Amino acid sequence: MSFSKTLYDKIIDAHTVRTLDDEGLILLYVDRTVLNEYTSPQAFTGLREAGRSVWNRKAALMVVDHVNSTAAHRIARMPDDGGQRQVEYFAENARDFGIELIDILDNRQGIEHVVAPEQGLVMPGMVIGAGDSHTTSYGALGALGFGIGTKDIEHYLATQTLVYRRLKPMRVTVTGTPAIGITSKDIVMEVIRRIGADGATGYAVEFAGDTLYDMSVEARMTVCNMIVEAGARGAVMAPDQKVFDYIKGRPRAPKDSVWDAAITCWSALKSDPDAHFDREVRINASDVAPMVTWGTSPDQGTTVTDVVPDPKAQTDATKREADLRALHYMGLRPGTQITSIAINHAFIGSCTNARIEDLRDAASILDGRNVAEGVRAIVVPGSTQVKLQAETEGIAQRFIDAGFEWRQSGCSMCLAMNDDVLKPGDRCASSTNRNFEGRQGAGARTHLMSPAMVAAAAVEGHITDVRKFSRGA
């Protein structure tokens, strides 16, 4: 009988407080959470009504990121009364329950999934549950992250635990050398296209392969972030020296002898060589081209050199109907060249692609070029720290010189919860994670792609192949 384990199983086993049934239901200890003003209010109201306190105040961090304006000049006031009340109640909860708050004027403010790693709060081997599905981002650091609902947030705050059902392990292995212009965003979009929007439902995904380990930690975060769009409820990668170097020296990272002990423990965090995975997916990165979505689900994507597919070719009736609906919403016809699709908005931002490396990559496209007439292009850094770094490096000025709006940090147009909203019929090249109907505004049409692809589309006024810029065209 084999006792070999996957990394996911090792982390879950180390955090299991009690087994609750014979079908994988457990009481799971959760190391940390990050709370935002949008998904936490009901949880705190529940605590107040039950007269409960927070079990471990230091294991939570509160960050304003969803409803705030990202206008160039930051003020404490939210753009609408509803958002203002959410932020005020958020501050009340931070004060009354004794939890650290990063508010809108704090120079550490930003999107929670950028801020938490940036501050050194995410470490290998941790379990992190938070009220946002893209908590899977933390898998890039060797932590198991997943989104939880409001009632789960309340349970976590009161007990430091969650009632959790163990997932099946799935491994996605990426090998081969990506071509010039191919990013981690293209790779994960290709994975999602191949396995479908439900291809990882019921699974925790472990990413492996030399291609991903050759990438930076920030690039890996993009991969782990977006796998939730294939239905994954968790993501993880075995930590390596790049991860250790990324964490070391950050404000909340261990120091001195504690750091040395941590490295010893973290270095053992990997799947056993003969561990069993319920599903295996293999991708050759040399086969991946720049990716663009044409529909209203992240798996409705294709290569930039391809055409909009014909739903008649879809053999699955349910998927065929979904494709027809998507084309109607997007205002596209089968056979249309992807590169002929004109845009009037370009957005670089979100927890998927608004870190400093993403901004550097996009800015590299812009030297000597300007945003096309009729296109509104904006950049929203993932955090205030990223914004300041980009300004110091001169990246911000390159965006401004090209005609982009340079804005403050926040979730922004990723989900149109504030004043960054598209109008019906607007078509946007976007570095975000979701292209659902109305995601960026009622009736708005979203095409997902890498930050560099967004920059290239902004310059040309239509979706275009970023690789021609790499060739100096």
Separation of alpha carbons 228 and 418, rounded Å = 24
**Contact criterion met (CB below 8 Å) for 236 and 206:** yes
For residue 114, the cross-strand partners are none
Q: What is the CB neighbour count within 10 angstroms for residue 76?
A: 11
Separation of alpha carbons 213 and 219, rounded Å = 10
For residue 19, the cross-strand partners are 26
pLDDT value, residue 366: 96
pLDDT in tens, 372-393: 999 999 999 999 999 999 999 9
Separation of alpha carbons 237 and 140, rounded Å = 6
Sheet arrangement for strand 25-29: 16-19, 25-29, 161-165
Separation of alpha carbons 292 and 303, rounded Å = 6
> Judging by beta carbons within 10 Å of its beta carbon (0-12, 13-18, 19+), is residue 411 exposed, middle or buried?
buried
Q: Which CATH superfamily is domain 7-279 in?
A: Aconitase, domain 3 (3.30.499.10)
**DSSP H or E run through 147:** strand 144-147
Q: What is the dihedral of CA 398, 134, 108, 454, to 10 degrees?
A: 10
pLDDT value, residue 472: 44
pLDDT value, residue 1: 46
Which stretches of the chain drop beneath a pLDDT of 70?
A: 1-2, 471-473
Q: Name the amino acid, one letter, at 339.
A: T
Separation of alpha carbons 274 and 288, rounded Å = 28
Asked if the domains 7-279 and 290-470 are classified in one and the same CATH topology, the answer is: yes
Q: What is the CB neighbour count within 10 angstroms for residue 208?
A: 21
Ranges of beta strands (E only) in 225-374 are: 235-236, 279-284, 291-293, 301-303, 345-348
pTM of this structure: 0.97
The tokens describing 431, both together, are 């570095």
SS3 128: strand
Q: Name the amino acid, one letter, at 347.
A: F
Which of 421, 426, 433, 430 is CA-nearest to residue 80? Answer: 421
> What phi-psi label fits residue 125: left (phi over 0), alpha (psi between -120 and 50 degrees) or beta?
left
Q: What are the boundaries of each domain within the chain?
A: 7-279, 290-470
Q: Name the amino acid, one letter, at 395.
A: I
Q: What is the CB neighbour count within 10 angstroms for residue 287?
A: 11
Any residues with CB less than 8 A from the CB of 272 and at least 6 apart, and which? Answer: 4, 5, 6
The tokens describing 452, both together, are 């560099």
pLDDT value, residue 2: 56
CATH T-level topology, domain 290-470: Aconitase; domain 3 (3.30.499)
Task: Measure Cα distances from 213 to 39, 239, 354 in Å.
Answer: 33, 9, 20
